[in-house]
Amino acid sequence: MGVELKPLGVVCNIQCHYCYENPLRDAGNKPAAYDMDAMKAAVLREGQPFSLFGGEALLMPKPDLEALWSWGLEQFGRNGVQTNGTLIDDAHIALFKRYKVDVGISVDGPAELNDARWSANLAKTRDATARTQAAIETLCREGIPPGLIVTLHRGNASADKLPALCDWFRHLDRVGVRHVRLHVLEIDSPKVRELYALSAEACIEAMLRLLALEQTGLPALRFDVFDDMRALLMGRDEKSTCTWNACDPLATQAVRGIEGNGQATNCSRTNKEGIDFVKSDAGGFERYLALYRTSQEHGGCRDCRFFLMCKGQCPGTAIDGDWRNRSESCEVWKGLFEHLEQGLLRAGELPLSRRPERRAVEEIFVERWEKGRNTDIAGALKRLASAAPASPTEPEKPGPMPDFTRVSWIDDRARDVWQPRLARIATAWAEVEWLSVPAGLRACAITTLAPGLFVQRARAWAGLGLGALPLSVHGRGPLAAGAAGGIAVPRRIDSFRVAVAAPKDLAALTHALDRHDDAAISDLLGVPACCAAHRRRLSADAALDPTWHIVTGGPPRAHAPDALHDNDARIVDVHGPWQTNILWRWLGVRATPHLPCGLDCEASRDIADRLCELGGQAGYDQEMDWMREILSWPAEWSALHGIAIVSTPILKLATRTDATDRKFTVRRHGDDYPAEGATGLCFPYRRQAAHRFTASRAFGIGTEHALSARGALP
Ligand code: SF4
Ligand code: SF4
């Protein structure tokens, strides 16, 4: 894995039934023409060799392939391509050799074993498979053997198919294939589950059979998954593949996707909505902190002795397609780790899963992840070895999830249009907050300002007879030495949170803050009595994120039906005025300074209208219009395992919320949708009008064939 350059996006010449790019095809998100200069510039930004990817990369005209690979050879000394192999001809092979192109081929076996990689009808499918097989053999003869990716499923790895699959691997070994990556099927739709899913037992059985084959019947061919897993168990993970390395689903560091227009995207495995999101600017490991804390019964990995090695596995394979859960192939991986662990014990080795220092290594990982950094087992073991020996203690109970908010845009266009607008709205709102005081709308305001602006505004406030009381300092980096008076001061200051009011009101606010007198504080800040009372009830619940309370009137626990994965039972659909839309508040887009007590709170609507009017009078008409527009769009908030995801037409964000075992979802319906908004497969996205790819006739013929091959059709 590395830089995956996708000039043609997901365009392909065949129709694999289980392809993890089918959600993108179903959503109709096809790429426009590619731009060679934009792609090259994006590759240079990544600074690494690239592999052409698809869809099917070899659909690209040969002159363009040659132009890219000759440039790639010049820049990086090598190239790569991942292909289904059906189009490879002599001219391609000449290009591979001339430009040092490593070839990866995705194929699931010979003849019927590869029928899931469908191509219009059975005859064409078998013909395509034969061409792939011939290409593999030619490449081996030419001295450039391809690496293969083989996905295990019912069509090639059920008990009746395994002998043929083993024969095929023996044949591949003889012709010169050396590396095969085995994939466990990623299931993105009920149809794929029905047609191709193996039970966990059957999948383990298939894997173990292939492991035995590797040990006894394949002189040279290696399945890298077993080497990876053994090395992980022995604490040697420097070279392990991405699926074991705490992949951040918002930034997939191991896969740097580049689209035909140069846009940087994530590994497509994470795109369940059918949208190729832009990489989040900031990386994070909240998924792994959440899995470490969450019981296995509820979709996490707590107390699994293989957590260090597995880490919940690839987020693209998560239960319910929700990366806040562990992989749905957990049973398979656990079964294989157990088997390999036993083998190592029998050979006199002591795997990390059985060593007393396992917990201490886990704590090193957690500490790093809490700081937003990753590590590896080998590094953590070294660190442990160099630390002073500690007396054995019970592992500490993990503390709360660190605060974070990370954003992924749907594409560069939406970001170019809306990111500056969001910044202008936030600036305007900070002004409106304090302007509400001299305008007589409330006695005190609390606003957040950058340091330079704070200095500037302090002079303006003095001129208006207002004072300022700094409440907290926000920024990055460790706390500066000498932070005093109980106020935490980060080394790099981004902003100050400041109360602004006439001196007598500021004195009253200080007094109320000192006494924790919430009623008096709310009164001074102009919070309606109903919302203030609601906030007091919330603080009794100690809620970090009151979204669910505000929408439903109670905490999540009170609404939790028993069925763990019946997520639909915990979805609430709401319609409400834009003034009480609270789902954009993490990005500073909100129409009231306080959190309303409910979506129908009249007092909050009234305050929002007056503040927007004030914003208009202060010269922020445009910003107030954008704010009204954004708050009128549909948006979804969902919470699971302490992570909230807010999806909107132009971006999604992940942030901290209260930890729940079950998933809770609020869908706020809107009455507007931005021109730049995404087309996707689920709420809140606009759906494409045309037919879905997986509903096409060719695709349907293939799935009927798969059903009849299983005897499920007459
Ligand atoms: S989503 Fe999965 S396959 Fe993709 S980079 Fe992450 S771990 Fe690897
Ligand atoms: S084996 Fe299962 S429980 Fe253990 S870390 Fe992997 S996914 Fe989590």
Quick one: which ligand is closest to 327's CA?
A: 2
306 lines ligand 2 (CB under 6 A): yes
Residue range 690-699: mean pLDDT, rounded: 81
Cite the beta strand spans of 153-255 per DSSP E: 179-184, 222-223
Query: What residues does 259 pair with on adjacent strands?
Result: 6
Is ligand 2 within 6 A of the CB of residue 647?
no
Query: Range with the lowest mean pLDDT among 179-188, 432-441, 453-462?
Result: 453-462
Instruction: Give the ligand whose atoms come closest to the C-alpha of residue 269.
Output: 1
Q: How far is the CA of 89 from the centre of ligand 2 (A)?
A: 43
Look at phi and psi of residue 175 and say left if phi exceeds 0, alpha if psi is from -120 to 50, else beta.
alpha
To test the pocket of ligand 2, the residue of 237, 291, 304, 311 to mutate (highest count of ligand atoms within 8 Å of its CB) is: 304
The ligand with the least distance to the CA atom of 308 is: 2
Segment 385-397, tens digit of pLDDT: 887 665 555 556 6
Q: Confidence band (pLDDT; 50, 70, 90) for 706?
A: confident
Ligand 1 mutation target, pool 53, 242, 266, most atoms within 8 A of CB: 242
Q: Is the CB of 269 under 6 A from ligand 1?
A: yes
Taking only the tens place, the pLDDT of each residue in 158-208 is 999 999 999 999 999 999 999 999 999 999 899 999 999 999 999 999 999
Going by pLDDT thresholds of 50, 70 and 90, the confidence category of residue 714 is very low
Residue 688: predicted pLDDT: 79
CA of 285 to the centre of ligand 1 (A): 14
456 vs 81, which has greater pLDDT? 81
CA of 340 to the centre of ligand 2 (A): 15
Q: Cis omega (within 30 of 0) on the bond before 262?
A: no
The reply to whether ligand 1 has any atom less than 6 angstroms from the CB of 39 is no
SS3 state of residue 376: coil
Query: Under 8 Å CB-to-CB from 602, ≥6 apart: which residues?
Result: none
With a 6 Å cutoff on the Cβ, whether 296 touches ligand 2 is yes
* 527 CB neighbour count, 10 Å cutoff: 26
Residue 136 in this model has a pLDDT that exceeds 50: yes
Mutate to test the pocket of ligand 2, among 291, 319, 330, 340 (most ligand atoms within 8 A of CB): 330
Give yes or no for residue 270 CB within 6 A of ligand 1: yes
∠ CA 373-378-382, nearest 5°, is 95
DSSP state of 112: G
Mean pLDDT of 452-466: 91
The ligand with the least distance to the CA atom of 250 is 1
Residue 555 pLDDT > 70: no
Query: What is the mean predicted confidence (pLDDT) over 332-349?
Result: 98
Distance 301 CA to ligand 2 centre (A): 5
By most ligand atoms within 8 Å of CB, the mutation choice from 228, 243, 280 for ligand 1 is: 243
Indicate whether residue 304 lines ligand 2 (CB < 6 A): yes
What is the percent of the chain where pLDDT is above 70? 93
Mean pLDDT of the chain: 92
Give the residue, out of 207, 295, 309, 334, with the most ligand 2 atoms within 8 A of its beta carbon, to mutate for a pocket test: 334
Pairing of the two strands 571-574 and 490-501: unpaired
Could you tell me which residues come within 8 angstroms of residue 429 by beta carbon, excluding any fewer than 6 positions away?
588, 589, 590, 615, 623, 627
- What is the Cα–Cα distance from 176 to 575, expressed in whole angstroms? 62
Highest mean pLDDT among 195-204, 552-561, 567-576: 195-204
| 314 close to ligand 1 (CB < 6 Angstrom) | yes
Identify how many contiguous H helices and E strands the chain contains and give both numbers: 24, 20
**For ligand 2, atom 1, which residue shows the shortest CA distance?**
334
Separation of CA 310 and ligand 2 centre (Å): 6
Is the pLDDT assigned to residue 678 strictly greater than 90?
yes
pLDDT value, residue 559:
47
The one-letter amino acid code at 424 reads: R
Confidence (pLDDT) at 558 = 44
- For ligand 2, whether the C-beta of 50 sits within 6 Å is no
- For range 35-49, the mean pLDDT: 96
Report helix, strand or coil for 39.
helix
Closest CA to 318 of 330, 305, 309: 330
- Least confident residue range of 64-78, 208-222, 337-351, 393-407: 393-407
For residues 531-548, average pLDDT:
85
The reported pLDDT for the residue numbered 567 is: 72
pLDDT, residue 160, reads: 95
Say whether pLDDT at 102 is over 60.
yes
Give, in degrees to the nearest 5, the angle at Cα 476 between 472 and 482: 65
Q: Which ligand is nearest to the CA of 313?
A: 2
* CA–CA distance, 320 with 331 (Å, rounded to integer): 15
Dist. CA 514 → ligand 1 center (Å): 50
pLDDT at 644 over 80: yes
Which pLDDT score is estimated for 117?
Answer: 96
CA distance 672 to 635: 11
Q: What is the mean pLDDT of residues 115-137?
A: 96
DSSP states along 229-253: HHHHHTT--TT--GGGS---TTT-T
Of all protein residues, the one whose alpha carbon is nearest to atom 7 of ligand 2 is 312
Q: Is the CB of 315 under 6 A from ligand 1?
A: yes
Q: Take residue 579 and report the two structure tokens written for it.
A: 């003034």
Mean predicted confidence (pLDDT) in 44-54: 95
Cα distance between residue 260 and residue 57, in whole Å: 11
Instruction: Kindly state the tokens that stand for 257.
Output: 């996707």
pLDDT greater than 90 at residue 505 = yes
Q: Which tokens belong to 279?
A: 């990489």
Q: pLDDT per residue over 280-318, tens digit each? A: 988 999 999 999 999 999 999 999 999 999 999 999 999
184 within ligand 2 shell (Cβ under 6 A):
no
